[in-house]
Amino acid sequence: MRHRLNRALSPSSGVLACGLLLAALEIRADPTAVALPAGVEAVWDVRAAFRETTPTRERICINGLWQWQPAAATAQQVPAGSWGYYQVPGSWPGISDYLQQDCQTLYAHPDWKDTKLGEVTAAWYRRTFGLPANWAGRRITLGLEYLDSYSVVFVDGARVGEIRFPGGQLDLTSACGPGSGAATSVPRVPGLGPIHTLSLLVVAMPLKGVMLSYTDSASAREVKGAVARRGLCGDVWLVSTPRGPRIGDVRVETSVRKRECAVRASITGLAPAGCYRMKARILVRGRVIKQFTSEPFYGRGVEGRLLSAALSSAAGGGEGARRAGEEVLQLPGSSGRQSARAAAGMDQNRLTSAAMTVTLARASRASGETRVDGEVELPRDEVARQQRPAAFTFSTRWAPSRLWDLDTPQNTYELEVSLMDSAGRVLDTAWTERFGFREFWIDGRDFYLNGTRIFLSAVPLDNAEVSAAAATYAAARESLERLKSFGINYVYTHNYACEPGSQLGFAEILRAADDVGMLVGFSQPHFSHYDWSGPDADQANGYARHAAYYTRAAGNHPSVVMYAMSHNATGYDEDMNPDMIDGIHDARDTWALRNVKLALRAEAIVRSLDPGRIVYHHASGNLGSMHAINFYPNFVPIQELSDWFEHWATRGVKPVFTCEYGAPFTWDWTMYRGWYHGQREFGSAVVPWELCNAEWNAQFVGDRAYQLSEAEKTDLRWEARQFQAGRRWHRWDYPVPVGSTRFDDQYPVFARYLTDNWRAFRTWGVSAISPWEHEHFWKLRDGVDRRRVELKVDWAQLQRPGFSPDYLDQRYQRMDLAFDRTDWVATAAAEALVRNNRPLLAYLAGKPGSFTSKDHNFLAGETFQKEIIVINNSRRTVRCDCRWSLDLPRALTGRKRITVATGTQARIPLRIELPATVSPGAFTLRATVRFSTGETQTDTFTIHVLSPGSEGRPPARRAGQARTASCLNSRRVRSASVGKCSGDTRRHDVLRLGTSRAPAAGASAVNVAVFDPFGQTTELLNRLGVKTRRVEAGGDLSTNDIFIIGKNALTLDGAAPDLRRVRDGLRVIVFEQSSEVLEKRLGFRVEEYGLRRVFPRVANYPALTGLAGENLRDWRGEATLLPPRLKYTTRPRYGPTVEWCGIPVTRAWRCGNRGNVASVLIEKPPGGDFLPVLDGGFSLQYSPLLEYREGRGLVVFCQMDVTGRTESDPAAERLVRNLVRYVADWKP
């Protein structure tokens, strides 16, 4: 039962309330402390505090406004004066950054008010307390939660003991029990015992002076140990429990599959020969709905197992050493013997983790005599193990109808567990545990919750790192509800380690997650912070003790379903390779394997502490339960990302989780890619970042990218000055930092990626995805009041669990963490995320068997196929009314009603016949899906109809487009690759130019010769009705007016045609050639990058007749100039590497050529008589259709993927037909 005494007072109890208030005033009066401002109170009366009671125990929360002052870490005596005040719990003020913010006022004493608080490493806390009279005869402890990081405890000025990070309990019975003297002059308060003064010296110390950090990259780097959040960062309790047998932690393990509820409880203080039972009662709103009792058990059977075995093993006696009677041990320096488990259950502060010599004896129950067998050495790890209470498990069959789930978080129960003796007398009743009956598990590559498949959409949760204000129940609940509003159903705590200062307390946050219905991954300590070299390191290096604390913190919260650990420390170069994401491949090097061994040792410890939850390693690749990746592919083409998980969906054997995801990432709009002068570093690097918003955006939006925003102009001017001065800089040093929400031109690009990739990921069934940079997708509206806000504080009610901020000043400006919901404006990226990340998703997809395809160019009279895909990741079965239409002059329509179970998807194939009479143009296919939930979703897809054989009208010149073309684009011409080859002086075997006769007047009068060893181009030309004559490399071209070089006809060293007649009028079309030939034989700079869109550069160019800009994107089928996978080598620390202009450069993997319009791109030459007809890619600096004139002749390089496609596209064929006609009709 939980209650607050002060809230239970009736209006008629005013006299009593007044007495309590006067007593509180007397207790807090202290002339040695600074005077508090009017209205601010330090209330220390425990009778007004939150308390939790059971029939045998009680605990009282003593949070509130405590006295406080800076201290020396070596201080030995409690100071007599100079006290200020600060709240408990709360991190000491003075350390703030972009994330961590202060929100609690420190009332400083004049003696130290000028102290630099950010440099304080130790501080004193002080308050008074009195114990309730009914606590007499009980064991009294002080409990500190989330201690950062070490505390010496004093009662009435006398040192009692220590508590260490991350928290624990200290026995105060002898210091404040009956007969103890009070060290304060405050008079006795009715109902309380003597008033005591509790003083804590808290020292903020790191685990190590120098630690390994994996926060900025997957490569470890040494950093100085520091404690960012210092002090009492969690609740403080006074606790009374029975002195005899008592229950420790209680864990409820529920199984939907087994229809079972098991209770696992740790127990201490059992008499070895005593007989006991455990009893569990399950309640809903105070009403018992289920109760069950364990079978009888003996104390020795529960508590003696581990130590008895250890002693027997140490004595060499094995199991036989225990047959005659009970083992007892004598501690060094003790005067008597006691049972093995009674000794092991002594106060942790009295036993060390050192090896211990014990006296092994055997007591005969028959004679009562004890025979000493001798002394044995108990190893240090066994001593450490025995300091933990033993666990006892009992269970019952139970399958309640009220399951805790994301849509039914209100379905929780209360559990009361009691320990009884053989007569049925209750010896102890543990704290009431709230739990939800639910089960979360992995089956193959899928997650299941309560029997149905669930796909996770995850983001990190930062509340415990931001501030006490963000870590309150109300703030955490608001954050989680905001996240849930755009489809997030899983959060992982963003402390990538559990070291001193890494976070504030999680108690209120986890309670909020339970109530909201949000799944949680809870961080565990990072193995890299511990020494694993000793033979007993797993138990003696501190990892097990720290992990035990965090598993206890997860406790019975139904929201916590997984533990995350080993953050960023076990990944490898190939963990994003689309062909190795399957749970089968593992391409680790020696360094990664070493870390894996340590990570798995740490995992085994966590699993032993809590076997009911999934454990995974953040950014580990294929390790343990899943393949988890930090997925940062830069500007990998959208189509390839949509196809990235096809291999996993086909062959994968375990879940995949893109635990960090940025495609693109805000930093990708710069030129920095993680290496500078051979050094590997990411976001915190001091390098020439080189902002390139326009250049990166150009491949998606064309010339419009160069309409620069004022934010980009400001940064470019600033950046130019840094380059001129030879400086390097942080990404946040820009006047408008990299990643700022002021770069509006990034949002449409984000939206394109999110829309296409999220739909594909969800359709492939990717287990867990993460819109990791969601913080950039919402912007604060203009005029938001960002000034400091003073919060109302009920100072009389601070003795309760949780944080209590009193002001908000600097805020971490993120949609889920700050300001009102109405203060945030959704950008195009946010709208795309909301549309495609909600539990229900309906959209128009590609054709059956190729749902990511984007075929849109069709001929009149042709039949095409699409699908409506409906995905249900809600927790209920839904009914759907699906309608679709194509807005032809005579509209085509259809309708179908379907039912989609939770965790499944449905696909409705559409087969649409275009009338032969339909005019060329754009038409909209529209789908509308109405769900039984009341939600309606609409999607559209534009098709483009071309008439067969019709030339159509020339494309209109775009507004602002130049009538003449330039070889170079506006502003700077940069390559997407690292490095340049402008200094390349190698000799290139270019096509020789010669003399020829003038071309014929018309296309029908020309002769076309083709050099096409592989025949793919000839086949295409024949299909298009172009008659050709086949020639070999040394063939005679004197009678030909047009010469066509077929796809891949040229080789690096092989014979090539003689083109000396170009200068005299020979016209040549060079179709797709390899990058090797283009670079090393013809002298171009090239890039292998699959463009799915190019832009016309020359208005009214004849070869583009009948082709609008929209026809030059997303062609049908796949291009075949490049293999579907990248050919590369790997370099340690650099990953996949290719050679570009003789320079080794890093590259992301390639994932197919679906939809390519150009694969091997010629960079616009900086000199010569070249005319780029089409351009695309980074900075629009590549031209896949390039015209070169020499004398009276012409050479057109067509690197558009028109030849050998797996499926023909009308636009590709139209382009080829136009090119042949253009070259035939061309005159100098």
CB 866 within 8 A of CB 1218: no
The structure tokens listed for 618 are 């953040």
**C-alpha closest to that of 524 among 438, 413, 601:** 601
pLDDT value of residue 679? 83
- The predicted model gives 946-962 an average pLDDT of 48
Task: Give the span between the Cα atoms of 905 and 911, in whole angstroms.
Answer: 20
Confidence of residue 489 (pLDDT cuts 50, 70, 90): very high
445-665+765-793+814-822, CATH topology level: TIM Barrel (3.20.20)
DSSP string, 952-984: -PPPPPPTT--SS--SS-SS----SSSS--TT-
- The predicted model gives 425-443 an average pLDDT of 98
Tell me which of 153-162, 337-346, 453-462, 1142-1151 is least confident.
337-346
CB 660 within 8 A of CB 633: no
Q: Does domain 839-946 have CATH number 2.130.10.10?
A: no
Q: What is the mean pLDDT of the chain?
A: 87
- The predicted model gives 1146-1162 an average pLDDT of 98
CA angle 32, 42, 788 (to 5 degrees): 110
CATH class of the domain at 23-43+59-231:
mainly beta
Looking at residue 668, what DSSP letter applies? Answer: G
**C-alpha closest to that of 1107 among 1018, 1003, 1204, 1217:** 1217
- The predicted model gives 229-258 an average pLDDT of 97
Other Cβ atoms within 10 Å of 590 Cβ, number: 7
Domain ranges, ordered by start, for the chain: 23-43+59-231, 445-665+765-793+814-822, 666-764+823-838, 839-946, 993-1119+1155-1225
Task: Give the span between the Cα atoms of 1222 and 1105, in whole angstroms.
Answer: 10
Q: How far apart are the first and last CA of the chain?
A: 96
Tell me which of 173-182, 367-376, 537-546, 791-800 is least confident.
367-376
Which tens digit of pLDDT belongs to each residue from 888-925? 999 999 999 999 999 999 999 999 999 999 999 999 99
Confidence of residue 719 (pLDDT cuts 50, 70, 90): very high
Confidence of residue 223 (pLDDT cuts 50, 70, 90): low
pLDDT value of residue 216? 55
Q: Given a cut of 90, is residue 102 above it in pLDDT?
A: yes
pLDDT value of residue 838? 98
pLDDT value of residue 1039? 83
Strand arrangement of the beta sheet that strand 863-872 belongs to: 840-845, 863-872, 904-913
Confidence of residue 300 (pLDDT cuts 50, 70, 90): confident
**Start-end of H helices in 671-806:** 693-701, 710-725, 747-764
pLDDT value of residue 949? 65
Share above pLDDT 90 across residues of the chain, in percent, rounded to a whole number:
78
DSSP string, 780-842: EPTT---S-EEPP--GGG-SSSS----EE-S----TTTSS-GGGEEE-HHHHHHHHHHSSEEE
- The predicted model gives 536-547 an average pLDDT of 95
Share above pLDDT 70 across residues of the chain, in percent, rounded to a whole number:
84
pLDDT value of residue 279? 98
**Start-end of H helices in 154-249:** 173-176
The domains spanning 445-665+765-793+814-822 and 993-1119+1155-1225 adopt the same CATH topology: no
Q: Given a cut of 50, is residue 511 above it in pLDDT?
A: yes
pLDDT value of residue 134? 93
- The predicted model gives 397-414 an average pLDDT of 98
Sign, Cα dihedral of 844, 848, 852, 855: negative
The structure tokens listed for 771 are 């819109």
More confident residue, 179 or 21: 179
pLDDT value of residue 211? 52
Q: Given a cut of 60, is residue 954 above it in pLDDT?
A: no
Q: Which CATH superfamily is domain 993-1119+1155-1225 in?
A: Class I glutamine amidotransferase (GATase) domain (3.40.50.880)
The structure tokens listed for 325 are 């009677």
Which tens digit of pLDDT belongs to each residue from 600-653? 999 999 999 999 999 999 999 999 999 999 999 999 999 999 999 999 999 999
DSSP string, 852-885: T----EEETT-EEEEEEEEEE-SSS-EEEEEEEE
Tell me which of 316-320, 355-359, 713-717, 862-866 is least confident.
316-320
Confidence of residue 860 (pLDDT cuts 50, 70, 90): very high
CA angle 1117, 1123, 1129 (to 5 degrees): 150
Q: Given a cut of 90, is residue 742 above it in pLDDT?
A: yes
Which tens digit of pLDDT belongs to each residue from 749-758? 999 999 999 9
CB 740 within 8 A of CB 775: no
Q: Given a cut of 90, is residue 1045 above it in pLDDT?
A: yes
More confident residue, 355 or 764: 764
Tell me which of 285-299, 772-786, 1024-1038 is least confident.
1024-1038
Q: Given a cut of 70, is residue 115 above it in pLDDT?
A: yes
Q: Given a cut of 90, is residue 356 above it in pLDDT?
A: no
pLDDT value of residue 1037? 86
Task: Give the span between the Cα atoms of 46 and 798, in whole angstroms.
Answer: 11
Which tens digit of pLDDT belongs to each residue from 1113-1132? 999 999 999 999 999 999 87
Confidence of residue 224 (pLDDT cuts 50, 70, 90): low
Q: Is residue 672 exposed (0-12), middle (13-18) or buried (19+ Cβ within 10 Å)? A: buried
What DSSP element (H or E) covers 476?
helix 473-485
Residue environment code for 1026-1051, b if the CB has 16+ CB neighbours within 10 A, otherwise e:
bebeebeeebebeebbbbbbbbbbbe
- The predicted model gives 175-187 an average pLDDT of 61
- The predicted model gives 797-814 an average pLDDT of 96
What's the pTM? 0.88
Confidence of residue 784 (pLDDT cuts 50, 70, 90): very high
